[in-house]
Amino acid sequence: MKILVAYKRVVDYNVRIQVKPDGSGVVTDGVKLSPNPFDDIALEEALRLRDRGVADEVVVATIAPADAQPHLRNGLAMGANRAIHVVCDRAVQPLTAARAFLKLIEKEQPGLVLLGKQAIDDDANQTGQMLATLWGRPQATFAGKLAVEGGKATVTREVDAGLETLEVDLPAVVTTDLRLNEPRFIKLPDIMKAKSKPLETVPFADLGVESGDFLQTTHYAAPAGRSRGVMVKDAAELVARLKEKGLL
């Protein structure tokens, strides 16, 4: 079985985001870019499935500008067999990304598609669900545990009431949550091996994807600074202050 893993590049989660002075976006020049943490978890789970003999090939794919090849090499260094780089010079919205990944699915015919449950840059949590719908295959989101056997995937996911277990027929789309695993540390020999692994580049225009970018962002703004806390003597004063602010 082949596993296709969506592997997005985002601003590193340790970076303090700065809004551009004109409010047109966030500053990315000179900022550290890293794999989306949830996608790292998806890739790690794919590699574990391959190590257990469930799959025989793991393919990572990203939609990103031409300078994103080192990002894919990172996925290859983790252990992916090969990579696909859909070259696109602009950010795409979830529906467009799902349509692009569907084209890759039609070409690669994977038995399982893994994505992080969301990307930490837009927090949309939409691409996996849209992809499953377009593909016409089952989906299991927010996976905290995954088992694949007998042409089926069993996914345990966290819901408000506790844990829910789903069983879906393969091929299927599964999105991964934080509790699923801890991604492996990449060693220097693996980084060297990754340089010789296959990396295919595909211009976005060659996929023939209809754009689904229907939302337009008009302005970015930094969150308001926290106001200083107010100390009160007792509960009565707290209630009075809240009434003054119209909160009670």
Model confidence over 7-64: pLDDT tens digits?
Answer: 999 989 888 888 888 888 888 888 898 999 999 999 999 999 999 999 999 999 999 9
pLDDT bucket at 122, cuts 50 / 70 / 90? confident
Cα–Cα dist 83/75, whole Å: 8
Query: How confident is the model at residue 215, as a pLDDT?
Result: 86
Q: Which of 41-55, 122-136, 221-235 has the lowest mean pLDDT?
A: 221-235
SS3 91: coil
Q: What are phi and psi of 205, to 5 degrees?
A: -60, -30
Spatial separation of the C-alpha atoms in residues 175 and 179, rounded to whole Å: 12
Distance CA 131, CA 101 (A): 7
pLDDT of residue 227: 80
How many residues are recorded in the chain?
A: 248
Burial (CB count <10 Å: 0-12, 13-18, 19+), residue 147: middle
CB-CB contact of 106 with 99 (8 Å): no
What does the domain layout of the chain look like in residue ranges? Answer: 2-218
Determine the average pLDDT of the residues in 106-118.
96
Q: Beta strand 152-159 with 82-87: parallel, antiparallel or unpaired?
A: unpaired
Cis peptide before 171 (omega within 30 of 0): yes
Q: What is the mean pLDDT of residues 202-211?
A: 92
Mean pLDDT of 203-220: 89
232 DSSP assignment: -
CB-based contact 30:53 (threshold 8 Å):
no
* 44 within 8 A of 50, measured Cβ to Cβ: no
Q: Taking residues 191-220, report their average pLDDT.
A: 91
Confidence of residue 239 (pLDDT cuts 50, 70, 90): very high
* Residue 198, burial from CB neighbour count under 10 angstroms (0-12, 13-18, 19+): exposed
Give CA–CA dist 127/101, Å, rounded.
9
Residue 8: the pLDDT is 95
Distance CA(19)–CA(6), nearest Å, equals 27
| Lowest model confidence (mean pLDDT) among 99-103, 128-132, 155-159, 229-233 | 229-233
At 223, list the tokens: 């969150």
pLDDT of 26 reads 85
Distances (CA, A) of 153 to 27, 57, 140, 143: 41, 17, 9, 11
Contact 112, 153 (CB under 8 A): yes
- Residue 154, strand partner residues: 147, 167
What's domain 2-218's architecture? 3-Layer(aba) Sandwich (3.40)
